[in-house]
């Protein structure tokens, strides 16, 4: 490996001689390091994933090279290094230094062919998505081949085959995919409307060790979707059906395939909205039943998001403030029977509503600059129906449009107000309901109801200098949770910023009570290079990026993030 890097560095330096060659090379470098400390308050450092308490300094490094040649070709490699271990809470499969992904792509106006690792998405990803998220340690690229054919500009066809990347290895199971997209508005010459149709197939083939299985090695999933928009109105509907497959249940820490517990799954996603200048309204409905889909059956529900075929994000608002992210909803699309906790989950049903409105200038509420308002409301529940909770003979039959046990609701209001050219404020209010027993599958967990208020103000001091102050407070129905928090940020200019923040629980929750979760740090940015430093104590909880949330343990220490792009 070392030799490879030296060779690479050598090759690169050789190329400096030829500017033409360098022009075609794109380089991205990211390094995330941490120095974990023992914390008097929260205990000494220990990494459960790698069962290590000695390696306090760790780095995750990524070097990505894309080289374009002969007009149509691109060769890409991504080197990754997790030394001496990966940062805590990353999958132990990320180990050492190695080639993470590699690919060769040919692209012209009609064909786009990739051999090697590739990322793909069909529709909203509800049937298939491959993506990378370094912060969360997700990379489920497929290793194989993909062809995208665009015979005319209103038709796109994709065929793919591959195995999932898992750490520096691949999945056992194989994925076959086919997708078609047709833009009818171009065919029918619609002037102000758009109509798009998509049809997809995804197959997952994995041999099983179950003797005389009553399910097939190959599981087939199909999806259809339709998008329609006309003038200010838009809508989309997507339906996925997944064929019969074994339901993996975790019993006493082991994966078990209960005999005769073989079920199909489905998902329905409907979205509609209306928007014009100064006004936007959007409504989403989703129902999921048994939508667990992994390249290796045994990895179902793994916390690292490895082997995952489809993308099922929580459809709730992703809040921006520390206290608004303590109780976070996790989508409940999988069948999960936990007998000792008396929890029987088959899926979820619910939706959310978004409203954006700009109050006009020179009105009593709009003031001199106008006021911007955003409202979000979401509600999620379990499916309603008949569940056989007999341990020896688990089964269920759910209604299509029935709402069962309430899991989560969230109502938020955001008001943005500019007072004068230098001063502006944001007010944020959230009301949450979280049925922690069902969401976390913990029998003793109580249902939490919270009210959270946040106010932030930014004052521009001129010449790029500015100061931002943020105050947060959470009230709850539980004696365990009574939080307060704040942030102070100072920007010297567009390149250099520093901040300090702290959240503190005055409640009696044994994990967090009377503990300051403080952070202080700064960042320096120049062009596409960014260096960030942070020292602080991280609260155990969900860290969310994009649509995915991962649990991270409590940790104290110094972190450094460097990213560069050329």
Partner 1 sequence: MKNFLLLFLFLFVWNINAQELPNITLKSLDGKSVTTQEISNSENLKVLSFWATWCVPCINELDAISEVYEKWQDETNVEIIAISTDDSRTRQRVKPLVNGKGWDYQVLIDENQDLKRALNITTLPHVVIIKNGEIVYRHSGYTPGGEDELFDVILEHSK
Report 322-351 residues binding partner 1 (CB under 8 A).
Answer: none
Instruction: Give, as ranges, the residues between 214 and 273 that touch partner 1 (CB under 8 A).
Output: 227, 229, 234, 271, 273
Instruction: Give, as ranges, the residues between 399 and 418 that touch partner 1 (CB under 8 A).
Output: 416
CA atoms within 13 A on the CB side of 134: 20
In terms of CB distance, is 37 or 563 closer to partner 1?
A: 563
Task: With contacts defined by CB under 8 A, name the span among 120-128, 213-221, 239-247, 478-486 that binds partner 1.
Answer: 120-128
In terms of CB distance, is 46 or 492 closer to partner 1?
A: 492
x/- letters, 173..212, toward partner 1 (CB under 8 A): ----------x-xx-------x-x----------------
Q: Which of 406, 407, 398, 501 is nearest to 454 (CA)?
A: 501
Task: Tell me the β-bridge partners of 97.
Answer: 81
In terms of CB distance, is 123 or 394 closer to partner 1?
A: 123
CA atoms within 13 A on the CB side of 333: 25
Taking the C-alpha atoms of residue 206 and residue 171, their distance in angstroms, rounded to an integer, is 9
Q: Which of 63, 8, 28, 36 is nearest to 536 (CA)?
A: 36
Taking the C-alpha atoms of residue 91 and residue 430, their distance in angstroms, rounded to an integer, is 33
- Burial of residue 119, with CB atoms counted within 10 A of its CB: 0-12 exposed, 13-18 middle, 19 or more buried: middle
Q: What are phi and psi of 211, to 5 degrees?
A: -80, 135
Taking the C-alpha atoms of residue 123 and residue 494, their distance in angstroms, rounded to an integer, is 38
In terms of CB distance, is 272 or 445 closer to partner 1?
A: 272
User: What's the chain's length in residues?
Assistant: 566
Cα dihedral across residues 310, 316, 322, 327: positive or negative = negative
In terms of CB distance, is 56 or 530 closer to partner 1?
A: 530
Instruction: Give, as ranges, the residues between 367 and 396 that touch partner 1 (CB under 8 A).
Output: 372, 374
Task: With contacts defined by CB under 8 A, name the span among 22-30, 389-397, 400-408, 446-454 that binds partner 1.
Answer: 22-30
Burial 272-306 (b: 16+ CB within 10 A, else e): bbeeeeeebbbbbbbbbbbbbbbbbbebbeeebbb
Instruction: Give, as ranges, the residues between 54 and 113 that touch partner 1 (CB under 8 A).
Output: 59, 61, 63-64, 66, 68, 74, 81, 83, 107
How far apart are CB 525 and partner 1 at their closest, in Å? 5
In terms of CB distance, is 22 or 256 closer to partner 1?
A: 22
x/- letters, 499..528, toward partner 1 (CB under 8 A): ------------------------x-x-xx
Task: With contacts defined by CB under 8 A, name the span among 38-46, 240-248, 478-486, 493-501 that binds partner 1.
Answer: 493-501
In terms of CB distance, is 157 or 355 closer to partner 1?
A: 355
Task: Return the structure tokens found at 283.
Answer: 């409504």
How far apart are CB 228 and partner 1 at their closest, in Å? 9
How far apart are CB 413 and partner 1 at their closest, in Å? 14
Residues with Cβ < 8 Å from 56, sequence gap 6 or more? Answer: 35, 36, 37, 45, 557
Single out the residue of 358, 384, 406, 473 in contact with partner 1 (rule: CB under 8 A): 358
């Amino acid at each position: 490996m070392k030799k490879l890097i030296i060779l690479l560095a050598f090759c690169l330096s050789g190329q400096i001689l030829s500017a033409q060659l360098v022009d075609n090379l794109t380089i991205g470098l990211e390094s995330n390091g941490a120095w974990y400390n023992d914390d008097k308050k929260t205990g000494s450092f220990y990494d459960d994933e790698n069962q290590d308490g000695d390696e306090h300094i760790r780095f995750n490094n990524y070097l990505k090279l894309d080289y374009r040649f002969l007009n149509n070709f691109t060769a890409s490699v991504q080197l990754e290094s997790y030394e001496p271990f990966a940062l805590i809470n990353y999958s132990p499969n990320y180990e050492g230094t190695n080639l993470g992904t590699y690919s060769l792509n040919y692209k012209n106006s009609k064909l786009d062919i990739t051999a090697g690792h590739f990322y793909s998405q069909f529709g909203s990803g509800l049937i298939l998505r491959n993506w990378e998220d370094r912060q969360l340690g997700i990379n489920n690229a497929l290793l194989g081949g993909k062809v995208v054919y665009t015979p005319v500009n209103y038709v796109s066809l994709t065929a793919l085959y591959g195995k999932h990347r898992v750490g520096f290895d691949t999945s056992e199971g194989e994925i076959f995919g086919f997708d078609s997209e047709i833009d009818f508005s171009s065919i029918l010459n619609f002037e102000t409307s758009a109509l798009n149709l998509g049809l997809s197939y995804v197959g997952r083939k994995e041999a099983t060790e179950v003797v005389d299985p009553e399910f097939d090695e190959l599981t087939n999933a199909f999806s259809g979707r339709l998008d329609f928009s006309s003038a200010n109105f838009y809508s989309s509907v997507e339906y996925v059906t997944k064929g019969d497959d074994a339901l993996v249940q975790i019993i006493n820490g082991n994966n078990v395939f209960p005999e005769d517990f073989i079920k199909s799954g489905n998902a329905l996603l409907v979205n509609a909205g209306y928007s014009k200048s100064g006004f936007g309204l959007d409504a989403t409905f989703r129902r999921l039943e048994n939508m667990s889909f992994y390249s290796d059956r045994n990895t179902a529900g793994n916390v690292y998001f490895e082997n995952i075929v489809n993308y099922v994000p929580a459809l709730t608002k992703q809040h921006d403030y520390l206290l608004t992210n303590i109780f976070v909803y996790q989508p409940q699309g999988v069948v999960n029977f936990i007998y000792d906790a008396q929890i029987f989950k088959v899926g979820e049903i619910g939706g959310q509503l978004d409203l954006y409105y700009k109050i006009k200038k020179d009105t009593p509420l709009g003031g001199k600059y106008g006021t911007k308002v955003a409202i979000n409301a979401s509600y999620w529940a379990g499916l309603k129906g008949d569940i056989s909770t007999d341990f020896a003979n688990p089964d269920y039959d759910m209604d299509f449009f029935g709402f069962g046990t309430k899991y989560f609701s969230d109502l938020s209001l955001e008001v943005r107000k500019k007072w004068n050219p230098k001063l502006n404020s944001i007010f944020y209010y959230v009301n949450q309901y979280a049925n922690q027993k069902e969401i976390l599958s913990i029998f003793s967990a109580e249902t939490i109801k919270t009210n959270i208020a946040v106010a932030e103000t930014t004052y521009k001091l001129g010449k790029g200098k500015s100061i931002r102050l943020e105050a947060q407070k959470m009230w709850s129905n539980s004696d365990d949770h009574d939080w307060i928090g704040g942030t102070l940020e100072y920007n010297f200019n567009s390149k250099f910023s520093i901040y300090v923040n702290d959240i503190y629980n005055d409640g009696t929750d044994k994990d967090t009570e009377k503990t300051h979760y403080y952070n202080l740090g700064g960042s320096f940015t120049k062009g596409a290079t960014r260096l960030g430093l942070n020292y602080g104590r991280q609260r155990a909880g969900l860290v969310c990026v994009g649509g995915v949330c991962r649990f991270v343990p409590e940790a104290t220490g110094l972190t450094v993030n460097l990213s560069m792009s050329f």
